[in-house]
Amino acid sequence: MPSYLKKDIAQDSLLGHSLRALYDPAPQYREGHMISLGYHGLRDVRELAAFIAGVLPQALERFLQGRVAQPVDDTPPHLRPKWLATLSKPSDGG
């Protein structure tokens, strides 16, 4: 990470979040998080396909059992749109 970005990367802002996602060598993943992937070459696509092929059977099994991960919203409160707060929360399957 370039030293001139250290102040910006530490901020709880869209810029800070984007920089952390860009420069974090091992981003943390929790079940239910959405991850965006960008690939830049054939090797990247092959690695992604191998990863998906490796986890797909377990994911399908969990889905068929009805065990589906709930999305995790870790958006800082000051970055959430006000209209989003007015929507009702999804039920827990009941």
Claim to verify: residue 1 and residue 24 sit in the same structural domain: yes
Among 61-65, 68-72, 83-87, which stretch is predicted with the lowest mean pLDDT? 83-87
Encode 33-57: b = buried (16+ Cβ within 10 Å), e = exposed: eeeeeeeeeeeeeeeeeeeeeeeee
At 60, list the tokens. Answer: 């399908």
State the pLDDT confidence band at 50, using cuts at 50, 70 and 90: very high
pLDDT at site 53: 92
Claim to verify: residue 3 and residue 25 sit in the same structural domain: yes
Which domain, by its residues, includes 59?
39-67
Per the prediction, the chain carries an average pLDDT of 77
Q: What predicted TM-score, i.e. pTM, was given to this entire model?
A: 0.33
How far apart, in Å, are the Cα atoms of 62 and each of 29, 47, 53, 68?
A: 18, 23, 15, 7
Claim to verify: residue 50 and residue 19 sit in the same structural domain: no
Average pLDDT of span 15-21: 82
Does 82 map to a domain?
A: no
Q: Cβ(23)–Cβ(9) under 8 Å?
A: yes
Does 91 map to a domain?
A: no
- For residue 88, pLDDT beyond 70: no
Claim to verify: residue 2 and residue 25 sit in the same structural domain: yes
Claim to verify: residue 6 and residue 32 sit in the same structural domain: yes
The total number of structural domains that make up the chain: 2
At 37, list the tokens. Answer: 């992937």
